[in-house]
Each structure stands twice: as structure tokens, then as C-alpha cells.
Amino acid sequence: MVKIYLGCGASREIFKSGTTPTFAKYGKVYSYVIGPFKTMRGARFMRDYGKGNPHCQTVNDAERLARG
């Protein structure tokens, strides 16, 4: 099953992966990875508004806030 993740490094990028991201696979691309997200809407919210936002610290926060 493919899941949605947010990779954070020089930029914040949404990607899908069929396996759990590991340092061996994504360590050269991202500093850290957030996820898995249930929806693209939650991942986009975290990408756009999550950095430095005290109200959006977890995947569940992003999913809830994205619903409005």
C-alpha cells in the first residue's frame, strides 16, 4: 500500500512510498520525513503551514486543520 510522506530538507516535498522511508533510502535527499499522512490535503497543509506552527505539530494536527 502506497502512503503519503513529507520530506524535509532544503525544501519541503511531498512524496509517496510503498515502504517506510529509511535513512539508507532517503537520507541523502531529506534531513527528516514526516508521515504517513491519510490524505494529500493533510500533507499539503503540513508542507505549507506546519513549519514553526505550534498548532500543527503532528500528522493528526495537520489532517484536522486541513479539514477546516
pLDDT above 70 as % of the chain: 100
* 20, 44 contact by CB (below 8 A): no
pTM (two decimals)? 0.93
CA distances 25 to 1, 5, 19, Å, are: 18, 14, 10
Q: Where are the domains of the chain?
A: 3-67
Does the pLDDT at position 3 exceed 90? yes
Does the pLDDT at position 68 exceed 90? no
Tell me the pLDDT band of 63, cut-offs 50, 70 and 90. Answer: very high
Does the pLDDT at position 12 exceed 90? yes
Distance from the first to the final alpha carbon of the chain? 27
* Average pLDDT estimate for 20-44: 97
- Listing DSSP states for 30-49 in one string gives -SEEEEEES-HHHHHHHHHH
